[in-house]
Amino acid sequence: MAETLITINMRRFLLNQARNKRFVRAAGYVRESVAKRMRLSPGNVRLSMELNNMIMKHYSKSMRKLKLSISLENGIATAKPFERSIITRSAAAKSKSFAKMHSRLFPAAAKKEAQQAQAQQKQEPKQSTSSKKAAASARAPKESK
């Protein structure tokens, strides 16, 4: 199984498309671009459900560059969104921070992780200052004179 990483510039294609037809044509353009890059016919290219949802929600509207991971098995190419597990250490070192690069590639995932972190912080009970003082005095025995 060979895996390839490619970037497709959606802006160049979508600027010339009607606004109400962009999603359908964007999915076709991704399929054709992958087929051309992998030297296959467009019928031998499969788009994952996750990639299809990303095109529908984000890329057909915002016209950003689309990063894909393509695996080739038995003459059929399967395109899925670029995942951070594929990023090498050298690529992560080149960026300012890995988290920043991940948030740029997957804005929805970064937003979800931030919401989960906030939910965990809300669940942890906060100690008041009086209870902190009581806990500190209980730990340290008082010296008698």
* Contact partners, residue 69, CB within 8 Å, separation at least 6: 3, 4, 5, 79, 80, 81, 82, 83, 86
71-92 pLDDT, tens digit each: 999 999 999 998 754 445 555 5
What does the pLDDT read at residue 107?
A: 75
What does the pLDDT read at residue 141?
A: 58
Hey, what domains does the chain have and what are their CATH numbers?
Answer: 2-82 (3.10.440.10), 84-122 (no CATH)
- 35 touches 42 (CB < 8 A): yes
Taking 90 as the threshold, does the pLDDT of residue 2 lie above it? no
Q: Which two tokens stand for residue 33?
A: 């671009």
pTM: 0.55
What does the pLDDT read at residue 44?
A: 94
